Amino acid sequence: MIKANWNYPTTVWIGEGRIKELFQACKNLKIKKPLFVTDAKLEKTKMVKKIIDDMNSLIQVKIFSKFEGNPIGKNVSDGVTEFKKGQHDGVIAFGGGSALDVGKAIAFMSGQSRPLWDFEDVGDYWTRANADKIVPIIAVPTTAGTGSETGRASAIIKEETGVKKIIFHPKILPSIVILDPILTVDLPPKLTATTGMDALAHNLEAFCAPAFHPMADGIALEGICLIKKWLKVAVKDGKNLEARSNMLAAASMGSTAFQKGLGAIHSLSHPVNSMYKVHHGLSNAIFMPYVLTFNRKEIENKIIKICEYIDLKDKSFESFLNWVIQIRKELDIPHKLSDVINIKKEDLDKLSLMALEDPSTQGNPKKLKLNDLKKMYEYSIEGKLFD
């Protein structure tokens, strides 16, 4: 018998120049004094300075930017302090995945009395929150990868353990999302490639997850199709606004779809992101073929369906695997994890246990054991795919 719970996303404004409607978004949500959350590097750009100047002519805006990539709990608590000090009533989360995650978490925690970690994505922990005290969020991504703008969670590293935790609540989902391709044109080719592969990982794992969610499946399929058509174009010509728009859409689609579930690509990625500071999109891209071949028996029919939808000449698992390997090669993404970092043997057990305990593990098509994850790490270091 079919039984499932579905939640679908939010208001999205997409198109060239839509950032000019940021004040209107605040007005719609009755935000009169927003905290503008962006990372330290973006704060210094002409793009952000102009946005803040334009906004300050209409409304009082303050910036919080005391964080960089792979944010930690202290970044959120510092932001909450700033939020309360300035008596803000909403958050504009602006930037890549880290900025969006921090901004969403600040908006969430600004009205909570319990610690951040009490709201980890475990069981019904989210019901511990005071939902009435979560302030409205406007999300403006400047990368096309994480899709955090349409997600109901934030990924934050717990300093005491070094483990990336997923903080979840349905109302962390931003109320308005602005997808403006102009904001992404200056993203370097390398980051365009790795964030694009992150979007591919989200759509791919969502489609392969075993849960029943045909709406997610349809969105994930089209997301993969858009990435196949536009990712290489966006990398080659960053000023191509059609490519940038389609990649923004594909990223938002991936996050929308993966409420169905993720899998071992993310289970393996999160530990190396927190322990070794590897870019999340890059690690997802590296792990992708190893996880695909590990899961082959359980996902082969779904992969063939992807081949049909994205119009690969040969409709087979091998054809899709070769496409993944080829696109990584064309985007100059390494095949082996050892080409990026030198993992100590003594860290493998710790990484494997962290991966096993990651929330994404539950959605993997093939049930995972500790040794499976360790073997996937070892194979990715050696460059050896599963038979």
pLDDT digits (tens, 9 = 90+) for 136-167: 999 999 999 999 999 999 999 999 998 889 99
- Which among 32, 31, 104, 34 is positioned nearest to 67, based on CA atoms? 104
pLDDT at 68: 81
Same domain for 120 and 229? no
User: In this structure, are strands 153-158 and 163-168 parallel, antiparallel, or unpaired?
Assistant: antiparallel
Same domain for 243 and 376? yes
Last residue of a domain, one of 164, 184, 204: 184
Same domain for 286 and 151? no
- Flag residues of the chain having pLDDT under 70: 1, 3-7
Within a domain: residue 339? Answer: yes
pLDDT at 98: 94
Same domain for 167 and 285? no
On whether the CB atoms of residues 262 and 202 are closer than 8 A, the answer is yes
pLDDT at 2: 72
Question: Residue type for 377, please?
Answer: Y
CB count in 10 Å sphere of residue 30: 9
pLDDT at 69: 83
pLDDT at 7: 66
pLDDT at 345: 87
Question: Residue type for 68, please?
Answer: E
Distance CA(33)–CA(30), nearest Å, equals 9
The pTM score is: 0.94
- Give the range of the structural domain holding residue 367, as residue numbers without chain letter: 189-382
pLDDT at 8: 77
Last residue of a domain, one of 119, 150, 184: 184
Domain count, the chain: 2
pLDDT at 5: 67
Q: How far from each other are the two terminal CA atoms of the chain, in whole angstroms?
A: 35
Beta strands in the chain (DSSP E): 11-14, 34-37, 62-64, 90-95, 137-141, 153-158, 163-168, 176-179
On whether the CB atoms of residues 352 and 373 are closer than 8 A, the answer is yes
Same domain for 73 and 203? no
Which residue is associated with the tokens 């700033």? 82
